[in-house]
Amino acid sequence: MLGHELARSSRVRPALRKCRSSRGSTKVKLSILVNEGPYTHQASDSAYQFTKAALEKGHEIFRVFFYHDGVNNGTRLTVPPQDDRNVQKNWSELAEKHKLDLVVCIAAAQRRGILDEGEAKRHNKGEGSANIAPGFRISGLGQLIEAGIEADRLVVFGD
């Protein structure tokens, strides 16, 4: 039942060694898990603020993994009111600026209608129905395990 996820979890990033900054404080490699969608629970906002602060302090973010309703952070179709923050866009922009690896869980994404080109085609959802936001990619739960293995710390944000 879970074979497709295993198959997609094979992408392995080279492990980076811990390094020290010029100020001597230890740089740490972090992975982030986001379990809730935007706009209902604060988890995604907290995760974003935390990630931004960690990057500004010079730490490395190995991966941000979105699970459960957290996959809803990764749709390009959100249109929040102009006086509200755009959570999805914030993530996409942070990813572009810092070359972040934003991964949404494939099983959770499929349940909730978050598709990339390949998935949209595979499930015959029609032209243009891929809605994964820029900077995000869809992959298996193995990516979460790998994020736990490769990072020095895994920080979980959820409900």
Partner 1 sequence: MTTLHMVNKSPFEKNAMQSALGHALKGDAVLLFEDGVYGALKGTTVASELGRIAGEVKVYVLGPDLTARGLGGDGRIADSVTVVDYNGFVDLVTTHQRTQAWL
Partner 2 sequence: MSNIKKFLYLNRKAPYGSIYALESLEVVLIGAAFDQQVSLAFIDDGVFQLAKGQDTKSLGVKNFSPTFRALGDYGVTKLYVEQESLSERGLTAADLMPITYEDENDGFAEKPSINVVSRSELAGIMREQDVILSF
Select the binding partner of residue 123 from partner 2, partner 1, none (C-beta < 5 to 8 A, by kind): none
The distance of closest approach from Cβ of residue 104 to partner 2 in the complex, given in angstroms and rounded to an integer, is: 13
Select the binding partner of residue 65 from partner 1, partner 2, none (C-beta < 5 to 8 A, by kind): none
Question: Which of 130/155 has CB closer to partner 1?
Answer: 155
Is the dihedral angle over the CA atoms 45, 27, 9, 98 positive or is it negative? positive
Interface positions with partner 2 (CB under 8 A) = 2, 5-6, 9, 12, 15, 33, 35, 67-68, 107-108, 140-142, 144-146, 148-150, 154, 156, 158
Check 33, 100, 102, 105 and give the catalytic one. Answer: 105
Strand order in the sheet with 60-66: 136-139, 102-105, 60-66, 29-34, 153-157
CB of 136 within 8 A of CB of 93? no
The distance of closest approach from Cβ of residue 149 to partner 2 in the complex, given in angstroms and rounded to an integer, is: 5
Closest CA to 145 of 2, 10, 4: 10
CB count, 10 Å around CB of 29?
A: 19
Is residue 48 packed enough to be buried (19+ CB in 10 Å), middle (13-18) or exposed (0-12)?
buried
User: Is 19 among the residues known to form the active site?
Assistant: no
Select the binding partner of residue 157 from partner 2, partner 1, none (C-beta < 5 to 8 A, by kind): partner 1
Site residues (vs partner 1, CB under 8 A)? 26, 28, 30, 35, 42-43, 46, 49-50, 52-54, 56-57, 59, 152-159
